[in-house]
Structure 1
Amino acid sequence: MLALDGVFDTGLAALLDALTLANKFSAAQSGVPPFDVSIVGVKRKVRSGQGMVIPSQLMSDGPAPDWVVIPALNTGTPELLLPALERPDVRKAKAQLLGWHAGGAQLAASCIGTFFLAEIGVLDHREATTTWWLAPLFRQRYPKVLLDESRMLIPTDIGVTAGAAMGHLDLALWLIRKASPELAVVVSRYLLADIRSLQAAYIIPNHLAQADPLILRFERWAREHLRQGFSLQAAAKALATSTRTLQRRCEAVLGKSPLSYFQDLRVERARSLLRGGSLDLEAIAAEVGYEDGATLRTLLRQRLGRGVRDLRDELR
């Protein structure tokens, strides 16, 4: 496991706790722990984002490990992340990652750790996910990566990427499941956690819109027109831009069409009404511009991976 100064404490702890539990349970049953876990870095001690000192082994040019797992740095905004990616210790770590990859190591990262993999080019022309609130930055910085921030885990031939923050735990459970599906079930029960296929349910559309002035104006227009339905021409005219420009900006910043983002806003509004009131599904469908509840029900299932009953029960 690769740890650098400013590592995200919760992410590192979630990975270590899950893998340690897996070793403990496996050793009790078969006497053979499946994971030999080491924390490595560019120096013998790293300081976490919360200031805790973590002992680590120095990176070496020896045989490549089977897996290298990169926890996130505690740099949750572009203003903090971009300078961190240029730090001398980070540049040294990126060079080491390339060496391990060339030696056959599989690479895994969650949350902001996925930026490391994108930085060294191993995600180019491959699907990947990342922390959802930095998806616009990721998409603009690494246009060759096939980003899908709606998904929690995306395995590829070079390893696996996982989503935001507690995606570290999903990543750990995925690694355990590769060793033993039964062991993963036991660990998930002890930790009260399951591997989630989507992080779409956690995405806040307004936060993504903040990344671009035109997208932010489009979001405000869209919220005012949810009941009327979507028209690309009407949106572009209201924003004093062309349909082509609006389409291209949405694809570049959000990785989706204006219509798809409009549907995201419909889903967000419908979810809020389901959780916070007594309206029936047909009334909620009308409120967000659909003719019937069946269409809305299908959209909610597709986008959030949850049914209407589950969404109503969220706050109970």
Structure 2
Amino acid sequence: MKTITILVMDGVFDSSLSITLDTLHAAQAILAARGGAPQLQVRTIAAKARITTGAGLRMQADLRFTTAKQAASDWIIAPGLGYRSDQELGACFARSDTVQAMRWLAAAAAGKAKIAASCSAAFLLAQAGLLNGRKATTAWWLAPAFRARYPGVHLDETRILVRDGPFLTAGAALSQLDLMLAIVSDVAGQSVAHLCSRYLLIDQRSSQARYMMRDHLEHEDRTVIAAERWIDAHLAQPMSVTALSSELALSPKTLARRIKAATGISPIKFIQRRRLSHAAHLLETTALPIETVAAHVGYQDSTALRKLIKREFGVTPSTLR
């Protein structure tokens, strides 16, 4: 028997919680159809008996932090918190129930439970100190805020799933689907996870990169914003870090430091991602040939663009159409 405990906070993102429950219910049904004793126990835990979701629904929790036994959980899952900005998350961390949740998570981690979180709930693990020195991901638009708050975490916001030791983090809200398939595979086997994906029509993905909209990233670094605007205005032209730093009246070293702090990547990678983001937009919204798209974003060779899209987004250009 494997026990899975779902951490439910006031303001939890409803779809993230529903995906968690529905996927586990599907796994339970598949296992039951195979016969034998029940193999999955699913329960919810909160700071109080009743919680209110982000959409205002009321829910009864099975357990309270003060009474739950840590050793009983094989997996603890924290669905997305439903907060869309660093300011909202900061207010959440000041709440007494959040403080209780972080203490409970820290004790659970010490007890060797595996812990998973998606979207803004990854902030909860980081705030509790559980991700220091580890790799993680979160919702792509919150990446700059996450990186500023937790410089000791190796963040890769392009990834949908990141596993590091006992911790599993996922990207934006509906990446909860990918997270749950990974957990079902761990507790019930790959064949059950595969059947869940078939019944629920879940396509597994590996990257958030294709979904990123750079204008929606939550950072306020004026230098990086200016760099984005200059790159976007000169996409079709040859471009170098030296030219970009000169345009912004900064040394290449200073520019690299500012971009790294805001985005976690080098200026060269930053330029490349801006180009690929625009290429993906053109492929999704126009019928332009790949050769024309490549020229629009500064690649003379469409083959190079094809390879980069496949490497960074995990799909072919035709998949984006």
TM range (shorter): over 0.9
- Paired position in structure 2 for 1:257: 266
Letter of the 1:125 partner, please give it: G
Separation of aligned partners in 2, 1:4 and 1:95: 14
Deviation at 1:291, TM superposition (A): 1.9
1:294-313 map, 5 Å: 294-312=303-321
- Paired position in structure 2 for 1:133: 141
- Paired position in structure 1 for 2:298: 289
- Of 264-273 and 171-180, the range deviating more from structure 2: 264-273
Question: How much identity, in percent, do the aligned residues show?
Answer: 40
- List gaps (5 residues or longer) in structure 1: none
- Paired position in structure 1 for 2:9: 4
* Residue from 86, 89, 92 that aligns with 1:81: 89
1:101-112 map, 5 Å: 101-112=109-120
1:196-275 map, 5 Å: 196-208=205-217, 210-275=219-284
Pairs aligned (count): 312
1:165 to 2:173 alignment: yes
Deviation at 1:173, TM superposition (A): 0.9
Deviation at 1:284, TM superposition (A): 2.1
Deviation at 1:41, TM superposition (A): 0.7
Residues 99-122 of structure 1: per-residue CA shift (max 9 Å, x gap): 111111111111111111111111
1:57-68 map, 5 Å: 57-59=63-65, 60=67, 62-64=69-71, 65-68=73-76
Residues 156-215 of structure 1: per-residue CA shift (max 9 Å, x gap): 212211111001111111111122111111111111112211111111112227432111
1:3-82 map, 5 Å: 3-56=8-61, 57-59=63-65, 60=67, 62-64=69-71, 65-82=73-90
2:77 aligned counterpart, secondary structure: strand
8 Å Cα contact 1:285/1:291 also seen in 2: yes
8 Å Cα contact 2:291/2:302 also seen in 1: yes
- Paired position in structure 2 for 1:195: 204
Separation of aligned partners in 1, 2:196 and 2:107: 32
Separation of aligned partners in 2, 1:277 and 1:49: 36
8 Å Cα contact 1:270/1:285 also seen in 2: yes
8 Å Cα contact 2:144/2:217 also seen in 1: yes
Letter of the 1:91 partner, please give it: V
What is the TM-score when the length of structure 1 is the normalising length? Answer: 0.95
1:37 aligned counterpart, secondary structure: strand
Deviation at 1:82, TM superposition (A): 1.0
- Paired position in structure 2 for 1:100: 108
- List gaps (5 residues or longer) in structure 2: 1-5
